[in-house]
Chain A
């Protein structure tokens, strides 16, 4: 049974990676091949969403726009925001955590108090306030907002890792050879602390995609007419859309599949990293998503 579990896990990680790859290819090249503009309004079927057919694979929305084409443009937005925001939080989180861990003492204590305070804000509340108050919703701003609110957890992870490395012999040796603190952090501490960060980063892409679609759903992210999975769901809230379940299902299932794909990729990375350390321990550890604290509000606080 255990062997089967591991086999399935690797298969799912590969499936997840395959799905993301397919999505990337479709998002990048799909619109070039098809050529239908995502905002082309078909006046003949205005207000009468058409079910999926040969002409419109995923049906049309209230303005007669093709949902398949819009979903592809939405995938561009989601993947780009997910990855770019991850890079922002990754950059800040890794350098912040590494500096705190390497410095130690008062500086470390002060820096970690700041992280504690950041974590005392419910993340999505913070996102909402900043997004609503900024009033400008370019993709760059959305990426910055999500990236700037999601690094504190990551910096904690890096700091813990750096602390456990700081007094190892090879770091000691570098110090004895006269390496400057900056070099020790960059060349010795950060590269060796990266393994758990890579896992967290893969999860973060999924979480960022959820955050982007939540913001867009509330009208605080990607602005119509530009398509995003979140604002496509916003369109589906209209009473006239109640007879068109495809308007709800297509963007929703894409969000779910993408988040799950990044989570199995993260889990796959974790398992293969663990295996290089110990063969048997990997199976008994809880999956990394358990490291997040659940709340009664479910994943609303995760966003």
Chain B
């Protein structure tokens, strides 16, 4: 097992290098560099000043040299560089935005599972029942709902008309440390994420219960006279949870990057919001840091999913 993990980690290195190279190339080759977004002021700068600014940030060199410098800093000094915008270390910028996003996505994931798992299990155990049919119709409709549209609708109903929840931000003026106030601000974004995300979880859970219920050991359990309840919860349930374990691992990257829409519409100062602002201001180091963080999480999520799978299911062995 540990040899397998080491091999997977080594295999991830070329992948991460490739992703960083492609992202850097795309950024640097796209028209309009960081200097062009100095805006109206940029138009009035003399060519010498522009050349000076470029030299100061190393932007006068070809993109592959720039990439090489970036990589050298990362490998030899463990540094992802400083932001072009405010000159702070990008690690610091990303990590101060991370808690809000992780909290929001974590709560959303929790709510998703609370909605999806019981309905999925019930629908799988009682196929074609009323609950199954209603759940599949509701699930079908939510499949087509764009998360940014749902966010606008939730704001219109619950923040503007009913005034139950605040419409944007993460805290009210003067109530910055108050956990209740924070939860009230997170309520609508969390609901928006959960409502658009629970469908696929529910349907996965449903089909894995159906699959488990049709296997031979269930027939054995039934034939020794166990009640349907015991069959479902003592035998089918454990096996039906396996795919969900994998999905949890695969959804790890969403903890960082999956919330651009919601953070944008609700003005929540998280990593998604930082992604937007750094893309628009051509802040190469920050874009690179977020890309690499997301890529690392994707690799780690895949690996964790495989490991967790082997832990819950002793039949699976990696060599």
Contacts and interface: CB of A to CB of B under 8 A. Distances in A.
Nearest to A264: B140
Interface string B130-150: 000000000011011111110
Contacts of A68: none
Contact of A297 (B32, B105, B195, B298): B105
Contact of B143 (A130, A237, A259): A259
Interface stretch (A88-96, A152-160, A249-257): A249-257
A117 B21 CA distance: 11
A236 B193 CA distance: 20
Nearest to A219: B280
A133 interface: yes
Given A120-B299, A132-B280, A218-B264, A295 B251 contact: yes
Given A260-B141, A263-B144, A290-B207, A117 B18 contact: yes
Given A121-B19, A248-B149, A298 B197 contact: yes
A143 interface: no
Interface stretch (A26-34, A56-64, A100-108, A209-217): A209-217
Given A134-B31, A135-B32, A116 B19 contact: no
A292 interface: yes
A125 B148 contact: no
Contact of A296 (B26, B32, B144, B258): B258
Contacts of B258: 122, 295-297, 300-301
B287 to A, nearest CB: 7
A191 interface: no
A190 to B, nearest CB: 28
A300 B259 contact: yes
A286 B207 contact: yes
B142 to A, nearest CB: 9
Given A133-B279, A134-B30, A214 B148 contact: yes
Given A130-B26, A296-B109, A297-B258, A117 B149 contact: no
A1 interface: yes
Nearest to A134: B30
Interface string A107-133: 000000100110011101100111011
B247 interface: yes
A290 B203 contact: yes
B105 to A, nearest CB: 5
Contact of B156 (A2, A242, A292, A293): A242
A258 B149 CA distance: 14
A226 to B, nearest CB: 19
Q: Is the interface of B mostly helix, strand, loop or mixed?
A: helix
A204 to B, nearest CB: 14
Given A133-B27, A294-B200, A296-B112, A122 B152 contact: no
A15 B38 CA distance: 52
Interface in B181-217: 193-201, 203-204, 207, 210
A289 interface: yes
Contact of B279 (A129, A252, A284): A129
A248 B153 contact: yes
A120 B251 contact: no
Contacts of B253: 122, 295
Interface of B: 15, 18-19, 22-23, 26-27, 30-32, 105, 108-109, 112, 128, 140-141, 143-149, 152-153, 156, 160, 193-201, 203-204, 207, 210, 247, 250-251, 253-255, 257-262, 264-265, 275-276, 279-280, 282, 287, 291, 294-295, 298-299
21 contacts: A1-B128, A117-B18, A122-B258, A125-B275, A125-B294, A128-B279, A129-B279, A132-B280, A135-B31, A213-B146, A214-B148, A233-B149, A248-B152, A255-B149, A259-B144, A260-B140, A290-B204, A297-B147, A297-B254, A298-B193, A299-B147
